[in-house]
Amino acid sequence: MPRIHLRITGDRDIFDDVLTAIHGVDRVERVEEIDDFMNDFRDDSSSQNLSDDMSSRTYTMEIEVPNEKIGERVREIAEETAGTREAAIEFVDPDENEI
């Protein structure tokens, strides 16, 4: 069963909107927020915790779909929903974090 991992950078309300929109896609098996252990990590500590950086966070979601056709629909819905709210969205390879 294909899995999609995505990250959204923005307000919690935007993440919740994307989560709700994905729940509305027929045949989606599972949608779950997952902890992103790298969320508070920054490569550049010189700008860490500045006011500009504290207004948005990164939220991570995992979605299970029965096939790639449904997966493509989920990606479209997520991009459209995040885009209308001007949030950054990134689709992540699920194996990227495994070492």
Residues in the chain where the model's pLDDT stays below 50: 51, 98-99
Q: Within a 10 A sphere around the Cβ of 75, how many other Cβ atoms? A: 17
Strand partners, 8: 59, 89
Whole-number pLDDT of residue 44: 52
pTM > 0.85: yes or no? no
- Which residues are paired to 10 by β-bridges? 57
**What CATH number has the domain spanning 3-97?**
3.30.70.260
Q: In this predicted structure, what is the pLDDT of residue 56?
A: 77
Q: Tell me if 78 sits within 8 A of 22, measured CB to CB.
A: yes
What whole-number distance in Å separates Cα of residue 89 and Cα of residue 18?
10
